[in-house]
Structures are given as C-alpha cells and as structure tokens.
Structure 1
Amino acid sequence: MSRTQRLFSLMQLLRRHRYPVAGAALADSLGVSLRTLYRDIAVLQAQGAHIEGAPGLGYVLKPGFLLPPLMFSEEEIEAIVLGSRWVAKRTDGALADAATNALAKIAAVLPSDLRASLEASTLLIGPGDPLPPMIVDLTVIREAIRAERKLHLSYRDEAGRMSERVIWPFALGFFDRVRMIVAWCELRDGFRHFRADRIEAMTVTETRYPRGRRALLKTWRETTGRQ
C-alpha cells in the first residue's frame, strides 16, 4: 500500500467513527506500527485535517471536513474521468465546459501518483448517434429546476400535435439519443416526460411551483418505481 493510499484509508477509517478511536486500533486496521500511525496523523493535521486527540487518548475526525488531495481512490478517479468524458461529449456546452473544468481542478490537488492515474486513464467514451436539434437551451431548463419555477411550453407530441402546457420541472434526463424533462403537468394533472427536442417554444414563469423539487422527485420515484 502506497503512502497516499494509506493516508486515504486512515481518513476513511476516521470518518466511520463518531467517537475517538485508539491509535492501536487504527494502526492494526491499517497494518502499520503505532509510530507510523502517529506520523501519518501528524501529516494529515499539517495539511489541515481537523483530527483531534493524542497518543493514549484516541483520535477523532471532526465532521464536515474533506481533504481534497485524499478524497479519491484509483477506482473513484477512473469513475470520475469516465463520467466527465461522457458529460463532455453527450451534454450541452455549459455542462461540457463544467466537466472539463472540474476535472482540471481535481487534477490540480491530487498527489503526483494519483494525478498520473487520472491523466493516463484508458477508459474512453465511444461515439454516439447525433442528437436531434433543439430550440430550447438546456441551461435555462436546469436553472428553472434549481429555482423551482414553472415552465410554459408549446409542445409537439410524437404524432405532431401541438399543445400548450404548464409544467413543474424537477429533473432532466440525459439519454444517448434524447434529453427528457421530468415534470408535473398541470394539463394532465400528473407526472409526464417531455422530450426537449419537441419543445417549439418555452417561457420560464415567475411562479414557483407549490411543491419542492426534491419532494416531487421522491414521489415520482415511488410512483414509477425508478431509482
């Protein structure tokens, strides 16, 4: 086990305990000597980790602290890289830029060995089918979801019929071929899914919908059996 991985494992051990843990127990879990454990604790404290305690008393990590350089295992880094590459290729421009920027920020704080793993990741995203053209801006839809604002849509269904809808958007699904808004539809008085490429016109209203988006998402999951 590398030193970086050992420090990461120590942080994970401390996060699992609400009360002080004896140094001997921590050392035993990591398979190191007490002297090495005390040295690792000192390194983490020097880097800003809020670890309280002392030899003979035990150690506890204060809640709410994340140490950026040690947050990720190699498998977690590969998952982040793969996810970021998918977002960069298969979403709108704003999210693609955000994914690229986030990956650069993560790389900047990783130790050199883990940074090398990130930069050398061989998990690739294959080419997908071209997405259908859209009139609406997905960034605007995401902002409406965050602000819990109603949307007024001019919507064309699969048969080409037009209708006017007022919806409460609370989720946005990204699939290989379509982008889907999950919402409560006032016209149908129920949950409905709207393809973003079938929206002919859209207005964000100033009206907040009466239920929070998290409550709507929870009810939708319970109703549809989705996770």
Structure 2
Amino acid sequence: MSRSARLLRLLDLLRRARQPQTGPALAQTLDISLRTLYRDIGTLRDQGADILGDPGLGFEMRPGFLLPPLMFTPDELEALMLGAQWVGNQADGQLAAAAASALGRIRANLPMDLRIELDTSGLLVPSTQAIPQEPWQGPLRAAIRSQHKVLLHYRDQKDQTSERRVWPFAMGFFEHVRVLAAWCELRQDFRHFRADRVLEVEILAERYPESRARLIQRWSRQMGHKAGQRC
C-alpha cells in the first residue's frame, strides 16, 4: 500500500469510528508500526485534519474535515472524471459547466503523477445523440435545493394542459428524458413529470411544509411498495 493510500485509509478509519481509536489498534489494522502511525497522524494534522488525542489516550477526528483533492485514490479520480463527463452530456449547460469547473479545480490541486493519470486514464463516456435541454432545469434544481413550491404548466401524454402546484424534491436524468418527482397538491400524492412536457415553470415564494429528506423517504417507501406488488 502506498503512503498516500495509507493516509486515505487512516482518514477513513478515524472518520467512521464512533469512539476514540487506540494507536496499537489503528497500527494493526493498517499493518504498520506505531512509529509510522504517529508520523502519519502528524502528516494529516499538518494538512488540516482536526485529529484529537495523544499516544496512550486514543485518537478521534472532529466532523467537518474535507478531504483534500490530493488524497483521492486513482479509482476515485476516475469515478469523478466519468461522472463529470456524463453530466456534460446529459445535464443542462449550467450543471455541465459546474461539473467541468469542479473537475478542473481538483485537477489543479493534484500532484503531477495523479494529474497525468487523470489526463491519460483512457476511460470515456460515449457521446449520445444531443437531447434538447429544457430551459427550466436550472430553476427546478434551485427549487429542489431551496424546497420551494412550484407552479407547473404541464402537457400530459394526451396533449391536455393543466396547472399543478407541486413540491419538487428530486430530478432523474435518464438517457433520453429528465423526470421531476414531486408531491402534487391537486392529486394529494406523488407524481412524476417529464421535463420535456413542461410548458412553463413559476417558482413560488412559499416553501413546502415538509422537508425534502422526509418527502424522499416517503416516496422511496411508496415506490418500493408498488414494486413489491408487481412481483
């Protein structure tokens, strides 16, 4: 195991632990000496990790520490690169630009060897036929983040139009279509709206009364129950 991979593993052990970890236990898990472990903890502290503790007392890390980009493993970097390429092909221009910007920021902070690995990975996301990007993808994503109600002017599969006040909480990006998952005030139930059938979007000032996390939990249970009924 390389030193960078070992440091990453040590960070994961400390972040996931629910109580202080002793030096000997950490050293045994990593298959290194106590001296090497203490040196690695010092390195992580120098890089900004808020690790509490001392030899003989155990070590723990305060929550909130962000992993520096240089600590990503090659597999993690390839996953990030593939994800950014996919977003560039499938999402709206604003989100695609954000993915490219984030990947560029990570790349700029990588050591040269990992930067070369990223640039020459040979992993590609094939370009698909261009799909028209609906202009309200950005506003809908903003409404999901801020948990605001939305008024949709919508055309269904029978070509009939309607207005729906909905609570948007998720958006699915499929190969040929984007789908908004929301609670519909008219139907008093969860509904899915194809983005290409939305005619107009109005973000309302009112926030919906239930948290996005709670809506996702209820929606997931309902979808799981319906899937079980089809089996």
How does the TM-score come out when normalised to structure 2? 0.87
Distance 1:38 1:152 in 2: 57
Judge conservation of contact 2:150–2:166 (CA < 8 Å) in 1. Answer: yes
1:168 and 1:16, CA in 2 relative to 1: closer, same or farther beyond 3 A?
closer
How far has the Cα of 1:132 moved from its partner? 4.1
Cross-structure match for 1:41: 41
Judge conservation of contact 2:151–2:164 (CA < 8 Å) in 1. Answer: yes
Unpaired stretches in structure 1, ≥5 consecutive residues: none
Cross-structure match for 2:199: 200
Cross-structure match for 1:131: 131
Deviations 1:174-194 (A, max 9, x none): 111011111122222221111
Q: How many residues align?
A: 226
How does the TM-score come out when normalised to structure 1? 0.88
Cross-structure match for 1:72: 72
1:72 and 1:165, CA in 2 relative to 1: closer, same or farther beyond 3 A?
same
Q: Map of 1:137-156 to 2, 5 A cutoff? A: 137-156=136-155
Cross-structure match for 2:55: 55
**Structure 1 residue matching 2:141: 3-state secondary structure:** helix
How far has the Cα of 1:71 moved from its partner? 4.7
Cross-structure match for 1:191: 190
1:141 and 1:177, CA in 2 relative to 1: closer, same or farther beyond 3 A?
same
What letter is aligned with 1:63? P
Most deviating of 24-33 and 178-187: 24-33
Distance 1:44 1:164 in 2: 55
Distance 1:41 1:78 in 2: 27
Unpaired stretches in structure 2, ≥5 consecutive residues: none
Identity of aligned residues (%): 51
Q: Map of 1:4-19 to 2, 5 A cutoff? A: 4-19=4-19
1:132 and 1:29, CA in 2 relative to 1: closer, same or farther beyond 3 A?
same
1:223 and 1:104, CA in 2 relative to 1: closer, same or farther beyond 3 A?
same
1:18 and 1:201, CA in 2 relative to 1: closer, same or farther beyond 3 A?
closer
Cross-structure match for 1:31: 31
1:192 and 1:17, CA in 2 relative to 1: closer, same or farther beyond 3 A?
closer
Judge conservation of contact 1:129–1:176 (CA < 8 Å) in 2. Answer: no
Judge conservation of contact 2:136–2:201 (CA < 8 Å) in 1. Answer: no
Distance 2:109 2:84 in 1: 17
